Structure 1
């Protein structure tokens, strides 16, 4: 699969300016603005600065009603509306900016989504023309036209062929040929294309496999659906496969429609733009997708993820919570929601949410894994080990694959090691390695945990060497190997590997401290203190205290890094 194409988003856009606060001064408003309007503007800015985005959006909406030709207000209302998920306000703001000749390249996409959701085909067509005129997203024209034609009852396949003339559009063509064939109930054509997708087994195409399998299940073709999912490479695919095998259709089986296809176009763009750190545009497209798709679990998941990236965790949790328990994406949504709660420090709420789900499904090892991860984030490693032990027990009872069980044992061993439950932790890590003997992650953890305790040095070094052979580009594993050489007395070789690790992760406190210790030992005193000072910038608690002592006193046996 080719790399994700870079989408042109570099124009000096209104949304970027406003999001940065460069166009947000009341002094830029027209001189005819009333004092009351200016006061409301200030109120909105204050609400934004206090992270009260909903309040700010409401103020901008009211102000825009009173001053419908104020481009500054429209710009602020537009950004605020996208951030709070208010499509109606965003559309109104875009209309104002269009009249003032200040529309940005992405704005017609929102107008297209709004018109499409209202079955205003002429309005959608006009938005597509405006999009093409603004250039940056013009490559989407064949896809928008194809899904619009499909919604009107026509055939969009011929229109999709226009995408072949543009390199960026070609990157998205295969998936839309598949989805459009399914929307037109031409399953044989779709399956011919899906064969290559299934064989390539790319993570990027997992959502396409999911959509196709759910469609075929809705069309009463369970064997064809399961064949698409045969690799079961992702957790949603595994869950969907099980649901089809057990005959569950409610909340699972879904036929592909024009709305499905258009929503997926926006979802895909949202994901790709997020990978380019274009978070505002990513959020806009996720919102457009949810607006078109209606009550779609995958649309909720993507919108929730966009809010989480923007650190709007309350909104993210709300979206993730809307994914029903029957959905193949339920566990992913639950996990994402828990991650947002943890990111906000709401550990009690996260655990309460998990407990409520586990009350209904106490025998799910995945839920016990998720609870263990949450407890680890809270710092309760002993309790986490208990949760992971339950996951191991249930996973073995349910005959989970060796790969899954290796990850369960790794989680258990890691929690036990952090809780000081040793040598039980070592036995768990060894069991993970037995089940998955060529995993660089497992080998590195197995070796490093023993190095920290200065036990079984030969076994530890051998495990880390094997991990490095399998993944030599990993800074973490390269650091482990360098530290292994340090512990075993090969200090010059340790410096070589630790310097290489630092090139990959120059701000990592552990690598900097290890390198500082190695430098001091080989007589490079100035460089040692520089490395320790760099480590101290990001270190915490006991690590920071140890580094401060080394900077002052130099390396003593009791100050060597663990």
Structure 2
């Protein structure tokens, strides 16, 4: 199911600053001008060096002495959210709300703060304000339903109202399930849980995990296992393994109003992040943790939101808060290490990952993660060693053929990139034996041989099969086009390579392949255009070859690898 587009006001969150600036002059007269200006300059300097936490602290101090200053309140609000300072954000929103300068998402904070304090009257007021402001009105019926649940009343009125709204309906099934579990209506909810198990959508993985934990707390281990049996996501597979290992007590947790409501905000945060509404995603994630502190999934969602907001330090901090007993621990570790990689801090990532591996040297997934990090750093030989260790550990644990096939594919790719050939070919063949209908494996197996101009016929067969399985993939379409180029069927090559470029117009490999094919069929102007496009995004090692083609045309020694 596709995530619905949530209507977001263009000036949401940041727009308050423009409004505040318009009214700041009058308020400045009430403050000690020089001191206030100095604090503002300090805060702006902190912002300029990408330190939202310091900026938020300065704005917080300034707001104490100038509570009527809308400029400071607006800046404090934004920087507090960016730095994860929820209390300061709530204070700033209250200041803005008193002066009629509230933005559509701000009632989220007031609602979460009130609900966490069991002030359901204030929470209901925030829900009404959220509905009145429009953008997130579809959530108000769900909020009202959780207030009803927390106060011992029926949530059905709120759930019924939500079902009528097109956007709210997207969240209705999972919210209905969580409401039922929170109300102890397990038998009524089981048929709905069976449906989401059968549908096996990755999106519903967290719901299945919450429900499984609930049934563990109800001493119904069989039901919990049935919910996770498909192992659709990594966290579900890990939790199922932990259950089978007898680690039930730490996993058991009954669903209550806090868990169900927090998940609503967590889900909203994830959907907003997908829509690149990073600031709003931060608000949703922080609201969820205010309602349900120290929740592993909540820390994961907030870490992801910080990561998308380019706050790697805060993201890593959130990921580290997730217990190793959690179903989400391996996913959190992978995202933490990805944060190091995004900062090109491969050494720091390896130090952190080796610390974790030292504590748990028998987990294959950690070795896979180490191999991936080493590959990104360019150390393909060491990556291959890590992948070998992962395969050995996974085979001892009787991992599925599908998982082992991916591990052998990783090993084959590392060996191939390290120049360990034909060992890489044997690993790729092993992956294909374990999972013969994988388009990714077939494509890599075929292309790696084509690059070396060996076993051309079988390599082409592998790529043709991959293309039949996934003709929509630009990478696989490029492989097939390049295969036709290598065997001399140049017009066919142009046909497929043009299709590949239509799917990935900025891909340097596709553009270089297409340029070579164009030149060979006499379309030399278009060839140089394609090579120039490839040069815009090419790696440094390919730059000179592309430059020579553009200047000299295609020669035998300049054909793409």
Q: Identify the TM-score tier after normalising by the shorter chain.
A: over 0.9
The answer to whether the aligner puts 1:6 opposite 2:1 as a matched pair is no
Q: Find out whether 1:155 has 2:154 as its counterpart.
A: yes
Distance 1:26 1:297 in 2: 42
CA distance in 2, matches of 1:99, 1:158: 31
Which whole-Å CA distance do the structure 2 matches of 1:469 and 1:429 have between them?
20
Mapped to 2, the partners of 1:27 and 1:542 lie a distance apart of: 55
For residues 234-264 of structure 1, what are the alpha-carbon distances to aligned partners after superposition, in whole Å with 9 as ceiling and x for unaligned? 1111111122222213431111111101110
Alpha carbons 1:157, 1:181 under 8 Å: kept: no
**How far has the Cα of 1:158 moved from its partner?**
4.2
Instruction: Report what 1:118 is aligned to.
Output: 117
1:523-534 correspondence to structure 2 within 5 Å: 523-534=522-533
Where does residue 452 of structure 1 map in the other structure? 451
C-alpha separation in 2, matches of 1:173 and 1:27: 42
Contact 1:26 1:41 in 2 (8 A): no
**Which position in structure 2 is the counterpart of 1:59?**
58
Q: In the alignment, which residue of structure 2 is the partner of 1:263?
A: 262
C-alpha contact (below 8 Å) 1:467/1:477 kept by paired residues: yes
> What is aligned with 2:423?
424
| Cα contact 2:112–2:290 (8 A) shared by 1 | yes
The alpha-carbon deviation at position 28 of structure 1 amounts to: 5.6
Q: Residue 414 of structure 1 corresponds to which residue in structure 2?
A: 413
Shift of 1:24: 9.1
Q: How far apart are residue 134 of structure 1 and its match?
A: 0.4
- State whether residues 319 and 335 of structure 2, in contact with CA within 8 Å, keep that contact through their aligned partners in structure 1: yes
Does the CA-based 8 Å contact 1:287-1:303 persist in structure 2? yes
> Which has the larger displacement, 502-511 or 348-357?
348-357
- Look up the match of 1:467: 466
- Structure 2: gaps (5+ residues): none
Deviates more, 1:106-115 or 1:95-104: 95-104
Tell me what 1:501 maps to.
Answer: 500
Note the 1:30-179 alignment, pairs <5 A: 30=26, 31-32=28-29, 33=31, 34-179=33-178
Instruction: Show the counterpart of 1:274.
Output: 273
What does residue 398 of structure 1 align with?
397
* Distance across 2 between alignment mates of 1:24 and 1:50: 23
Deviations along 1:392-440, one digit per CA (max 9) or x if unpaired, are 1111121110100000000000100010000000110111111111111
* Residue 218, structure 1, aligned to residue 222, structure 2: no
8 Å contact kept, 1:26–1:42: no
Query: How big is each residue's C-alpha offset from its partner over 1:458-480, in whole Å with a ceiling of 9 and x where there is no partner?
Result: 11111111111111111111111
Query: Deviations along 1:289-345, whole A, 9 cap, x unmatched?
Result: 111111110001101111111111111111100111111111111111111111112
Distance of 2:86 and 2:382 partners within structure 1: 44
8 Å CA contact 1:403–1:435 kept in 2: the answer is yes
1:328 paired to 2:361: no
- Tell me, yes or no, if the aligned pair for 1:444 and 1:477 is still in contact at 8 Å: yes
The answer for unaligned runs of 5 or more in structure 1 is none
For 1:24 and 1:320, the matched residues in 2 are separated by 35
Q: Which moved more, 1:382-391 or 1:141-150?
A: 141-150
Residue by residue over 1:269-292, the C-alpha shift from the partner in whole angstroms, topping out at 9 and shown as x without a partner, is: 111111211111111101111111
Aligned 1:189-228 pairs, distance under 5 A: 189-228=188-227
1:243 & 1:218 partners in 2: Cα distance? 15
2:25 & 2:452 partners in 1: Cα distance? 65
What's the offset of the Cα at 1:159?
Answer: 3.0
Cα pair 1:259 1:292 within 8 Å, conserved: yes
Q: Provide closer, same or farther for how the CA distance between residues 27 and 108 of structure 1 changes in structure 2, counting only shifts above 3 A.
A: closer
**RMSD (CA atoms):** 1.6
Deviation at residue 119 of structure 1 after TM alignment: 1.3
Aligned to 2:543: 544
Tell me, in whole angstroms, the C-alpha distance in 1 between the residues paired with 2:355 and 2:46.
34
Residue 514 (structure 2) pairs with residue 510 (structure 1): no
State the partner residue of 1:358: 357
Counterpart of 1:185 in structure 2 is: 184
Aligned-pair CA distance for 1:27: 10
Task: Please report the TM-score for the alignment, with normalisation by the length of structure 1.
Answer: 0.97
3-state SS, counterpart of residue 445 of structure 2:
helix
Matched residue, 1:290: 289
Instruction: Quote the offset at 1:155 in angstroms.
Output: 3.1
Moved more, 345-354 or 275-284: 345-354
Q: Is the 8 A contact 1:155 1:184 kept in 2?
A: no
Tell me, yes or no, if the aligned pair for 2:21 and 2:70 is still in contact at 8 Å.
Answer: no
Contact 1:53 1:80 in 2 (8 A): yes
Classify 1:94/1:346 alpha carbon distance in 2 versus 1 (closer, same or farther; 3 Å). same
